[in-house]
Structure 1
Amino acid sequence: MGYPFSVSLILLPGFSLFTLGAVRSVFTAANEVEGEPLYRVRQYSPEGDTAMTQCLLTLAADPLARLNPEQPGLLLLIADGRVDERPLAQVGQCLVQQLQRFGNDGPWVLGACGTGAQVLAQLGLLDGYRAAIDWRIQAEAVERYPATVFTPGLYEIDRNRISAGTGAAVTDLLLHWLGKRHGSMFAAEVAAGLGLDRLRGGDERQPVPASAQPAVGSARLKDALELMAANLAEPLQAEDIAQLVGVSRRQLERLFRQHLDTFPSRYYLELRLKHARRQLKQTTLSILQVGLVCGFTSGSHFSTTYRNYFGYTPREERARLAMPEAETDIGGEDME
């Protein structure tokens, strides 16, 4: 086992700075425990020598073309957002070529966190593998990539493929991966260096935000909330949700009134609008694109509905944050 072991991070547009920090912190702590450089971390961008974060910060990175596919190591995609809804060419044809060169027989361990597993699945690099993915798009990923076994857990380690869901799950993933390479005592020391008192297992489910948490004692309501949270871009009809969870529409409405004091349609709309607000604040997507990924097909409908709920339009939301609206090449009405 040669050292330092190469860790190459591919930062896809709009990636999470939190996730990048978590990854780097794990390998820095591993080097400190060993007292020598076990791991060398470099970051690459398919967009050139810089990478744009989710919060619009620009970080220095090496062009992806400089990645050496002959040297063994870990290649980890860091992504947030629905990267499968944009052509892979948008994140760089070089990325596609490099990943396809590795394949199943390459010298690399391929990994992904957040929504990065979509890229590997779309390229066929997760066919026959178990993988974890952001809980918000898990149902969509299961449908689109049937050759990949997407699970609801925090992370998955399956042979030479590793993956994690959102947030701190990448820390759990890498600590367990280090445990497999160096032993559980080493992983425990690294965890302690990060201030962690326990390692979460990969079979633990990804935490769902409070807005999507079910009321105690209502499994069907829990299932309904998870369906809504996983289908924001293409909202389901109330009848379809009721049928999928095994109740009538009237029973579904009764559950929402009893436990959440609202109606399913109102709850679903609020969930989509709150997701839209996060996208406006945290991504470079245009207002048009935000509306589309939150299930609004009409620009005027998105703008009017957003204003009625929050008190200002999506464009005014962006202006308040002093974020320039991203240009888009998607045709159609510009969203106010």
Structure 2
Amino acid sequence: MIRKAPQELPQRIVFFLVPRFSLIAFTSALEPLRLANRESGKRLYSWSLVSVDDLPVRSSCGIPFTPDAKLDELQHFHTVVVCSGEDVQKVDDRRIYSWLRRVDRTGVDVGALCTGAHILAKAGLLDGYSCTIHWENLAGFLEDFPEIEVTPELFEIDRNRFTCAGGTAALDMMLNVISAQHGHELASEVADQFMHERIRDQHDQQRMSLPIRLGVRHPKLLAVIKLMEDNLEEPLTRIQLARDAGLSTRQLERLFRKYLSRSPARYYLELRLNKARLLLLQTNMSVIDVALACGFVSASHFSKCYRDFFGRTPRKERGLPSLAGEDDED
């Protein structure tokens, strides 16, 4: 429904702020609405800020935002946007979920920015819908909500649900909404004001391509790295990696030493450990389950590798006391 022109103007939008919400995602969603009003010469959109307890909410960078409406006094709005960011998996306030379910029953559009899909999922509002989330939170979301269809898209609009990956993806999502509701010409005028030279669609990638991200363009090396990223739970052997890329194991070693200053085994291990850290911080999976999900055969081997790389054990990463036998030194 959010792709259709509203039946009445202005379209009233409620931004629900969750502590540590992403400031760039929030402003990237809000500012296009302001500029759409200015460029069109009409009041197409209006907005309100709310929080669960009607108190100021600090953003991810610590700047506080004061709600301008009381949650239980809101009336006659068309759209709700949940704004969250860091540590979303720690949010566990039943008041949020019950309010979202209540407003959903009125037929309004319900969406989320950045990690807000996690909150919608916990409220049961993504069952039967497609959604997306920031790439850094994708693995954790898949573990927590395996029954929900989550994609790596820049944003997803599925009937009266919309989600975006956060950051400037919120800008592109809102530009697409403005285009669908009020025409491409207006959306282009708004994009020009942002010096945003291209309006991305939902299928654009969230992350930079491997060559840009790594500063490497050797096709066979990139092919091996892609294989590694696609096989973290059941790591491929050095022989398998070399064979699939059409290389000898010696050539494989030389490529990694030349371009990445480390061995293939070391690079692969770092990929798996970085995924493990995200799962530890974003899910309630046990340490052994995280270890298995990242290709380690035992918790002890995983803990040793993790401490060697990050300087702390997996349990200490979560702020938990170490178990007997673990090295507590940092």
Regarding TM over 0.5, the answer is: yes
Tell me how far apart the structure 1 counterparts of residues 128 and 60 of structure 2 sit (CA, whole Å).
31
Tell me how far apart the structure 2 counterparts of residues 264 and 174 of structure 1 sit (CA, whole Å).
41
Q: How does 1:1-336 map to 2 (within 5 A)?
A: 1-46=7-52, 48-62=54-68, 65-66=71-72, 68=74, 71-84=76-89, 86=90, 88-89=91-92, 92-103=93-104, 105-208=105-208, 216-217=218-219, 218-225=222-229, 240-242=234-236, 248=240, 255=252, 258-259=255-256, 260-263=260-263, 266-267=266-267, 306=310, 331-332=320-321
Tell me how far apart the structure 2 counterparts of residues 207 and 82 of structure 1 sit (CA, whole Å).
21
How far the C-alpha of 1:97 sits from its partner, in A, is 1.1
Tell me how far apart the structure 2 counterparts of residues 300 and 64 of structure 1 sit (CA, whole Å).
50
Contact preservation (8 Å) 2:51, 2:71: no
Scaled by the length of structure 2, the TM-score of the pair is: 0.70
Percentage of identical aligned residues: 26
Q: What SS is found at the alignment partner of 2:235?
A: helix
How far the C-alpha of 1:257 sits from its partner, in A, is 5.8
- Point out 4+ residue stretches in structure 1 off by more than 6 angstroms: 249-254, 271-277, 295-304
Scaled by the length of structure 1, the TM-score of the pair is: 0.69
- Which whole-Å deviations, capped at 9, do the CAs of 1:179-222 have from their partners, x for residues lacking one? 22112222222222322232111111212486568754233412
How far the C-alpha of 1:331 sits from its partner, in A, is 4.7
Tell me how far apart the structure 1 counterparts of residues 54 and 20 of structure 2 sit (CA, whole Å).
14
Gaps of 5+ in 2: 1-6, 278-289, 313-317, 323-327
Tell me how far apart the structure 2 counterparts of residues 102 and 47 of structure 1 sit (CA, whole Å).
17
- Closer, same or farther: CA 82–265 of 1 in aligned 2, 3 Å: farther
Contact preservation (8 Å) 1:130, 1:158: yes
Amino acid at match of 1:107: G
- Closer, same or farther: CA 257–75 of 1 in aligned 2, 3 Å: farther
- Closer, same or farther: CA 33–142 of 1 in aligned 2, 3 Å: same
Amino acid at match of 1:179: S
- Closer, same or farther: CA 145–257 of 1 in aligned 2, 3 Å: farther
Tell me how far apart the structure 2 counterparts of residues 256 and 58 of structure 1 sit (CA, whole Å).
50
Q: What SS is found at the alignment partner of 1:242?
A: coil
Contact preservation (8 Å) 2:154, 2:202: yes
- Which whole-Å deviations, capped at 9, do the CAs of 1:55-87 have from their partners, x for residues lacking one? 22222225763462x523221112223423x2x
Contact preservation (8 Å) 1:26, 1:190: yes
Q: How many aligned positions are there?
A: 287
- Closer, same or farther: CA 264–123 of 1 in aligned 2, 3 Å: farther
How far the C-alpha of 1:50 sits from its partner, in A, is 1.1
How far the C-alpha of 1:169 sits from its partner, in A, is 0.8
Tell me how far apart the structure 2 counterparts of residues 47 and 223 of structure 1 sit (CA, whole Å).
47
- Closer, same or farther: CA 48–138 of 1 in aligned 2, 3 Å: same
Q: Whose Rg is larger?
A: 2
- More contact order relative to length (CA 8 Å, sep ≥ 6): 2
How far the C-alpha of 1:273 sits from its partner, in A, is 9.0
